[in-house]
Amino acid sequence: MTEETIPDTMLALRLKGVGMENVVLEEVAVPRPEADQVLCRVECAAACASDNKIIDQGGKHSLMSGWDVAKWPATLGHEGCVTAVEVGEQWADRVQVGARYAVQPAIPSGPTRFKERYNDNARGVRKIAIGYTLPGLFAEYVLIDPEVISTGCLLPVPYEGLPRFTVALSEPISCVVAAQQHSVHVVKDTPSAPRRAELGLLKGGTTLILGAGPMGLLHIEIAMTHEPATIIVSEPSDERRATAEEFFAERAQQAGVELILTVPDELDGVIAEVTDGQGVDDCIVALGIRAVQQKSFDYLGHGGVTNLFGGLKAGDSVIELDARRIHYDSVSAVGSSGGDPSDIAEVLEMIAAGTIQPGKYVAAVGGLDAARDLIGAVRSQELEGKGIIYPSMRRALERVDGWSAEREGEFLA
Ligand SMILES: NC(=O)c1ccc[n+]([C@@H]2O[C@H](COP(=O)([O-])OP(=O)(O)OC[C@H]3O[C@@H](n4cnc5c(N)ncnc54)[C@H](O)[C@@H]3O)[C@@H](O)[C@H]2O)c1
C-alpha cells in the first residue's frame, strides 16, 4: 500500500570504508519493500557521538559483528522520526501509510537478511541496529526490516502535535533513561531491616556525572528525576559547563538539588568536601575515555555504582580495578548501550507532558547535505548540544540556540 509517488533515487550518507574520508553523500536507488518490510520517509535525524565510533571502527564495532563496510556500505544515522509510505502486506494491520513513527534503533534480535555478511553467519548475534548493519536515517527514505517491527522498535508517535525533532531526540534521551535505570543499589532502612534492591540513582544521595557533552547534559536532566540531594558535574570545557549552568541551575534549585559544576583537576577535592570524604553513591561516565572509566571507581563511596555509559573502542577497552573495593566497599559497575522501545515510549510521554523540553538541546540544523558536516562537528565537539538534519531539505549546517515546533515549521516551509 502506498499513497505518495516514491522517486527512483534518493540521497543517502553512506560509510564505504573505515574513516571520515569514506563517509559519502551519494545518490542510490530508493529500495522498495518486500511483503515483510516497510518503506518510510525520514522526517528528520539527529547525529550522535556514536556515529563517529562506527566510522572509526567499521566492522570491528560491536554492533557490526564483522560486517565489512568497504564491501557493503552502511547508511549512517540512528536517531530519527519517520513516516510510513509503503507497507508490505505482512504489516498491513500494524503499520499505517502516512502515520509518523519513532525509531528504537537498537533491535533486540538477530538479522533476517544478509546473515552471510556477519561473523559466523550471524550465529550468536542478538542485537543489531539501524544506522549500523540495518539501513540508517541520514537518507531520504529508509527500508524497515521485519525484526524492527516484530520487536516493537517502530513506535507510533502517540500525539500528533509532537514536533519531528522531539521524536528524533526521544532516542538519545531514552538511552539515558535506560542507563540510569541500570544502576542498582542494595539498600536497608535500618541495620535489622531486610535488604532490597532499588533501581536508579540513589534518592537523597550524591550523583557524579563525568562529561557535559550532549549526553552528559541529558544525564543531568534525567538524574534530577531520581531526586539525588547533590549532582556534581565534572567537565573541562568552560563552554560546556556554562551550558550546563544555563540549562539546569534554576531547575535544580527549584527541585531542591544542589548542582555543583567543576573541572577534572578539582574533582577529588570537591567530592571530598561534598561527601565528607565518603565518596559518591553514583557516577555516570558520559564519555568514552578508558582512563576516566577506570578512575571512576575511585570516586565511589561504600555501595557506590559507576555507570559506564560511554563505549570504549575495540582493542582499548580493558580497565583494571581493585577487587578489594568490590569486596570491602561493595562498589559495582553497570552499563547499557541504547534502550528499549519501552524507554522511547516513556520519553515520548515525558516530552508530551512537558517534563522534558528537548528544544533546548538543539544547537544546529541543516539539510541532508549538511549531515557529514554535522558528524564532523560532533567529532570535534564544536556543538553545545544536538544537531538535527531534515533529509527533504538541502541547506548548510546552521547554528541555532534552541529549537521549537514553530521554528521547525518555518525551516521546512
Ligand atoms: N550507552 C549509550 O546508550 C549511549 C548512547 C549515546 C551516546 N553514548 C556515548 O556517550 C558518550 C558521550 O556522548 P556525547 O555526545 O556527550 O560526547 P562528547 O564527546 O560530545 O562529550 C564528552 C565530554 O566529556 C568531556 N571530558 C573529556 N575528558 C573529561 C574528563 N577527564 N572528565 C570529565 N569530562 C571530560 C569532554 O570535554 C566532552 O564535553 C559517547 O562516548 C557516546 O558514544 C552512549
- Segments making up each domain of the chain, as ranges: 9-156+357-412, 175-334
Distance of CA 2 from the midpoint of ligand 1 (Å) = 41
Residue nearest to atom 21 of ligand 1 (CA): 213
Q: Which ligand 1 atom minimizes the distance to the CA of 335?
A: 1
Which cell goes with 132?
A: 549500523
pLDDT for the residue numbered 3: 62
Q: How far apart are CA 67 and CA 52, in angstroms?
A: 16
Distance of CA 383 from the midpoint of ligand 1 (Å) = 13
Which cell goes with 113?
A: 537478511
| Contact of 347 with 158, CB cutoff 8 Å | no
Contacts of 311 (CB under 8 A, 6+ apart): 50, 53, 62, 288, 337
Phi and psi at 356, nearest 5°, equal: -120, 135
Q: Where are the beta strands (DSSP E) in 263-375?
A: 280-285, 300-307, 332-334, 362-367
Give 119-176 pLDDT, tens digit per residue.
Answer: 999 999 999 999 999 999 999 999 999 999 999 999 999 998 899 999 999 999 999 9
CATH topology of domain 175-334: Rossmann fold (3.40.50)
pLDDT mean across residues, the chain:
96
Write the burial class of residue 194 (CB in 10 Å: 0-12 exposed, 13-18 middle, 19+ buried): exposed
Write the burial class of residue 124 (CB in 10 Å: 0-12 exposed, 13-18 middle, 19+ buried): exposed
Q: Which ligand 1 atom minimizes the distance to the CA of 217?
A: 16
pLDDT grade for 313, boundaries at 50, 70 and 90:
confident
| Contact of 17 with 70, CB cutoff 8 Å | yes
pLDDT for the residue numbered 283: 98
DSSP string, 139-161: BSEEEEPHHHHHTT-EEE-S-TT
State which of 210, 215, 268 you would mutate to test the pocket of ligand 1, scoring each by most atoms of that ligand within 8 A of its C-beta.
215
Distance of CA 285 from the midpoint of ligand 1 (Å) = 8
DSSP letter assigned to residue 208? E
CATH code of 9-156+357-412, in short, is 3.90.180.10
Residue nearest to atom 9 of ligand 1 (CA): 310
Distance of CA 59 from the midpoint of ligand 1 (Å) = 22
Same fold yes or no, 9-156+357-412 and 175-334 = no
Q: How far apart are CA 380 and CA 320, in angstroms?
A: 29
Residue nearest to atom 8 of ligand 1 (CA): 310
Other CB atoms within 10 A of residue 90 CB: 17
Ligand 1, residues at Cβ distance < 6 Å? 48-50, 53, 172, 175, 179, 210-216, 234-237, 240, 264, 286-289, 292, 309-311, 336-338, 381
Q: Which ligand 1 atom minimizes the distance to the CA of 234?
A: 33
Average pLDDT over residues 60-89: 97
Give 199-252 pLDDT, tens digit per residue.
Answer: 999 999 999 999 999 999 999 999 999 999 999 999 999 999 999 999 999 999
- Model pTM above 0.75: yes
